[in-house]
Amino acid sequence: MSIQKQLLSILEGLPKQVHLVAVSKTKPNADIEEAYAAGQRIFGENKIQEMTQKWETLPKDIQWHMIGNVQTNKVKYMAPYVSLIHGVDRYKLLKEINKQAAKSDRVIDCLLQMHIAQEDSKFGFNKEELEAVVIDLKTNPLPHIRIKGLMGMATFTDNQDQIRSEFKMLKQQFNWLQTQHPEANELSMGMSGDYALAIEEGSTMIRVGSKIFGSRNY
């Protein structure tokens, strides 16, 4: 099935309030252009250098989302254009995004990443760390960032009950975040293998790559 058909089949099944991030990491511009021609405008990358090269050469109405782990020293390269940073997992990174956004005279939207999986390889704040950062931002705001919500990745497992319980935990934390930051309205959870469950549990943004582009890498 073509990229266009795969994309449209996913979009047809999505509730109105759920945004699709097409995960285009490692994919060539031609694949992104095919998805773009089908109407897709939000693309997710996990390496800043690759994302920047694509931003420079592809249509300027594309919204680029950084979905990977972010190195503090690379923030400056994406600050002029990035639409949303999903994986903010430490306060030091928030401060650097704020600093680089100021240089570009921008306010950058960010999602705080919460560690919900039973895997050490996943990044993110735990509950206590996340709440401490959110409360600190209320008293010591960073004017060039906007906390738009949370992001999390479930454990890579076939156990649907475990995945659902991890998504529920993230949604509960998101509900709390909204009491502190009413403008937080995005919950980024769910990927190619588990996004249907994520949507049932309240996701507003899913990150899908292989189901659109196939699993080929270039």
Tens digits of residue pLDDT in 23-46: 999 999 999 999 999 999 999 999
108, 146 contact by CB (below 8 A)? yes
The percentage of the chain sitting over the pLDDT mark of 70, rounded to a whole number, equals: 99
| Backbone Cα Rg of the chain | 17
CATH number at residue 149: 3.20.20.10
Residue among 176, 210, 213 at smallest CA distance from 193: 210
Query: Is 157 inside a domain boundary?
Result: yes
Higher pLDDT: 118 or 54? It is 54
Query: Is 99 inside a domain boundary?
Result: yes
Burial of 190 (C-beta count, 10 Å sphere; 0-12/13-18/19+): buried
In angstroms, rounded to a whole number, what is the distance separating the alpha carbons of residues 137 and 160?
35
Q: What is residue 218's predicted lDDT score, i.e. its pLDDT?
A: 47
100, 75 contact by CB (below 8 A)? yes
Cα atoms in the Cβ-side hemisphere of radius 13 Å centred on 178: 9
Q: How far is CA 192 from CA 97, 109, 142, 156, 212, in A?
A: 28, 24, 34, 11, 9
Q: How far is CA 135 from CA 31, 109, 128, 140, in A?
A: 42, 18, 11, 9
Query: Which run of H or of E encompasses 19?
Result: strand 19-23
CA angle 62, 74, 137 (to 5 degrees): 85
Give the predicted TM-score (pTM) of the model. 0.95
Confidence band of 120 (pLDDT split at 50, 70, 90)? confident
Query: Is 218 inside a domain boundary?
Result: no
Query: Is 135 inside a domain boundary?
Result: yes
Tally of structural domains, the chain: 1
Contacts of 184 (CB under 8 A, 6+ apart): 147, 148, 149, 150, 174, 177, 178
Mean pLDDT of 38-63: 98
Confidence band of 1 (pLDDT split at 50, 70, 90)? confident
Query: Is 145 inside a domain boundary?
Result: yes
Query: Is 182 inside a domain boundary?
Result: yes
Query: Is 92 inside a domain boundary?
Result: yes
Tens digits of residue pLDDT in 191-218: 999 999 999 999 999 999 999 998 755 4
| b (16+ CB within 10 A) / e for 104-122 | eebebbbbbbbbbbeeeeb
Say if residue 124's pLDDT is above 60.
yes
Range of the domain at 130: 3-213
Query: Which run of H or of E encompasses 143?
Result: none
Query: Is 23 inside a domain boundary?
Result: yes
Tens digits of residue pLDDT in 160-181: 999 999 999 999 999 999 999 9
